[in-house]
Amino acid sequence: MTVDLQAVKTDLYEAVNGEWAKTAQIPADRPATGGFQDLVIDIEKLLMNDLEKFASGEKELPNEQMAQAVKLYQLALDFDRRASEGTVPLQVELDQIEALQSYEDYQSIWHDWLLTGNASPVDFDLDPDMKNAKVYGLYAGAPTLILPEKNYYADDNQQGQALLQVWTTMAEKVLVMVGYDQEIAQKLVTETKVFDARLVPHVKSAEERADYSKMYNPMTVAEFAQATDQLSLSEIIKSLIKTTEAKVIVTEPAYFQALDQILTDHFTEFKSWLTVKTILGDASVLTDDLRIASGEYSRTLSGSQEAVNHQKFAYYFTMSYFGQVIGKYYGETYFGPEAKANVEYMVHQMIKVYQERLENNDWLSPATRQQAIVKLTHLGVQVGYPEKLPAYYEQLKIDTGKSLLANAITLSQQLKAESFSRWNQPVDQTRWEMSAATVNAYYHPFMNIIVFPAAILQAPFYSLQQTSSQNYGGIGAVIAHEISHAFDNNGSLFDEYGNLKNWWTEEDQSHFKVLAEKMIKEFDGLPYAGQSVNGKLTVSENIADAGGLSCALSAAQEEADYNAQAFFLNWARVWRMKATEQYMQLLLSIDVHAPNKLRANVQAQNLAEFYLAFDVQSGDQMYLEPDQRVQIW
């Protein structure tokens, strides 16, 4: 990669990625291309090819779980069969809805529908209890809206109005294709929008959801059940976790305060909402025409030009149920022990740097500093792929005599039932929540664990063929980013076991909030894609980026072949992305990450070493006055 080093002084990101962007083509079935996206494409090609070989017998199946995954893949790929079945597989669910005359009727099917993943007025989920992170707790939240974020519903949001019209046209079209009369389709869609509008004032915005401290609102089942008398919340909880002697962790209290008024005297709209949501949710597994038609709204949102082809659809559909099985196969087959050992070495180097940073921190009090180190030493690390799969995968069986939708319903019910069976059981720290074939990484604050799937552990993020500085500028910064999440504005609220517990002195917390506010101000209002960045929405990720890049730089400096320019150039390279304007604007509204270009440039501007590496001086566009540079960890 040849880079004009003088151009770095003007724009690091453009100097590294500008020439690439001139010729890069966004695939018609995607909203973006670039570093992350290119790896995704490579992996999907690799694994689709392997699934085809498994299906033809050219490649030997490694285990029974993969055999079931291949069966589902073949079933999902059989579009001729789906064409012959038409909408018949959907009729069972539509008949159930049509028979509903009251909320009492809905109560009788609610349990099964929750397990299926169909629309529900309450979203129940299992996760480690934020105040007792050793066991799984029951969470209750609000359903999703039609538009991607509540701010889209504002009267002056023309983009939201346009998107709602796209959704309306699509929904009516799909309902007619399923067999509804045009007039009835319009009525059902209109009533669905009316019910959706009742939810909007009471659900959290993306910015509000980004604050984890407001998620924990525990109630007894009896207290929670008082939210409405239209449905029995205690009865549905008992059906899910087999007891009412439980704590319900409410993530959206304002929604449940309004739930009774949302439901009361609005059963007709609720029933229409169920109907439309169910049809749109199931359409992609019916005929190909319905699959394509039901994706028009999401493609408009992202700017994608066309639906994915049949093979990609089958692949991603299979991944949605057998992602851990396929991920484990991917890790074992394509992620070697040498790479695993090298990445684990880098992780421990990052932890070592972080510990040194904490030990030498000059603004934390001794008590808080010591607790931070305790949290760091308790940090769980998972690299590559899981050693074992959850036992429930042995129970998943594909019935090729049934339709794809019928199999999807059965699989969803089995997976959800297994999830709820873990209520009040010990948290399994070895359990992966992300497929090893996923190009991503994460920190789980309720478990105090960082996870790096095999799929992201390749060039440009990481390669045994890259220099150590390139690797630290890539995967090293990603690793340290995830560690930094343990100490960002959300992660810092949790102790070494993942419990929501204040371990800061009041003075330290106040100082940290001042630093976090500086990070908010540094990004807030930065122009991008015709709009601007929300500093509050992105603050936790920006804090993690800053800590990640800074710590990765320190680790790189300890290596014999350290090269500052190589470090920063690869940092900018991994963030390369060319995307549709629609997709960039969507991310500005809902994504807790800042735009890739700004992540690359602003975080580099915060580090003195960047200025030294490229001789950036006052007057250069990349120059940021020292008092404006933000550093926290």
DSSP 3-state of 633? coil
Whether the Cβ atoms of residue 598 and residue 519 lie closer than 8 Å to each other: no
Q: How many CB atoms lie within 10 A of CB 628?
A: 11
Helices (H) and strands (E) in the chain, counts: 28, 11
Q: How many CB atoms lie within 10 A of CB 621?
A: 12
Catalytic residue among 149, 207, 482, 488: 482
* Sign of the four-CA dihedral 191, 197, 198, 199: positive
Give the residue among 488, 485, 487, 462 at the shortest CA–CA distance from 473. Answer: 462
Q: How many CB atoms lie within 10 A of CB 401?
A: 7
Q: Which residues of 148-168 are buried (b: 16+ CB within 10 A; e: fewer)?
A: bbbbbbeeebebbeebbeebb
* Cα torsion through 299, 301, 304, 307, rounded to 10: -10
The reply to whether 78 belongs to the active site is no
Rounded to the nearest integer, the mean pLDDT of the chain is 95
The reported pLDDT for the residue numbered 338 is: 81
Whether the Cβ atoms of residue 411 and residue 358 lie closer than 8 Å to each other: no
Sequence-ordered list of residues with C-beta below 8 angstroms from that of 76, at least 6 positions apart, any chain: 285, 313, 314, 317, 318, 404
Average pLDDT value for residue range 20-48 = 95
Whether the Cβ atoms of residue 500 and residue 218 lie closer than 8 Å to each other: no
Q: Band of the pLDDT at 633, cuts 50, 70, 90?
A: confident
Q: Which residues of 434-473 are buried (b: 16+ CB within 10 A; e: fewer)?
A: bbbbbbebebbbbbbbbbbbbbbbbbbbbbeebbbbbbbb
Q: What is the pLDDT of residues 448-500, one digit of tens each?
A: 999 999 999 889 998 888 999 999 999 999 999 999 999 988 999 999 999 99
Alpha helices in 210-336 (DSSP H): 221-225, 233-241, 253-263, 267-282, 288-293, 296-302, 310-334
Sequence-ordered list of residues with C-beta below 8 angstroms from that of 205, at least 6 positions apart, any chain: 149, 150, 151
Whether the Cβ atoms of residue 153 and residue 160 lie closer than 8 Å to each other: yes
The reply to whether 625 belongs to the active site is no
Percent with pLDDT over 70 in the chain = 100
Rama region for 78: left / alpha / beta (φ>0; ψ in -120 to 50; rest)? beta
The reported pLDDT for the residue numbered 612 is: 97
Instruction: Give the full edge-to-edge strand order of the sheet including 132-141.
Output: 123-129, 132-141, 247-250, 218-220
Tokens linked to 517: 């506010």
Whether the Cβ atoms of residue 364 and residue 515 lie closer than 8 Å to each other: no
Q: Which residue has the tokens 């808080």?
A: 368
How far apart (Å, rounded) are the C-alpha atoms in residues 326 and 313? 15
The reported pLDDT for the residue numbered 26 is: 96
Q: Is 545 exposed, middle or buried (0-12, 13-18, 19+ CB in 10 A)?
A: buried
Q: What is the pLDDT of residues 335-347, one digit of tens each?
A: 878 888 888 888 8
Q: What is the pLDDT of residues 399-421, one digit of tens each?
A: 999 999 999 999 999 999 999 99
Q: What is the pLDDT of residues 176-185, one digit of tens each?
A: 999 999 999 9
Average pLDDT value for residue range 303-313 = 96
Q: Which residue has the higher pLDDT, 337 or 309?
A: 309
The reported pLDDT for the residue numbered 541 is: 94
Q: What is the pLDDT of residues 204-226, one digit of tens each?
A: 999 999 898 899 999 999 999 99
* Sign of the four-CA dihedral 574, 579, 581, 582: negative
Which contiguous run of DSSP H or E holds residue 532?
strand 531-532
User: Which range in 152-161, 310-319, 580-589 is most confidently predicted, on average pLDDT?
Assistant: 310-319
The reported pLDDT for the residue numbered 427 is: 96
Catalytic residue among 129, 269, 496, 545: 545
* Cα torsion through 270, 272, 278, 280, rounded to 10: -130
pLDDT higher than 80, residue 1: no
Whole-prediction pTM: 0.93
| Helix, strand, coil fractions of the chain, as percent rounded to 5 | 60, 10, 30
pLDDT higher than 80, residue 616: yes
Using alpha carbons only, give the angle 84, 87, 89 rounded to the nearest 5 degrees: 95
> Residue 484 carries which side chain, given as an amino acid letter?
S
| Alpha carbons within 13 A on the beta-carbon side of 513 | 8
The reported pLDDT for the residue numbered 580 is: 95
Extended beta strands in 347-469, E state = 380-384, 442-444, 449-453
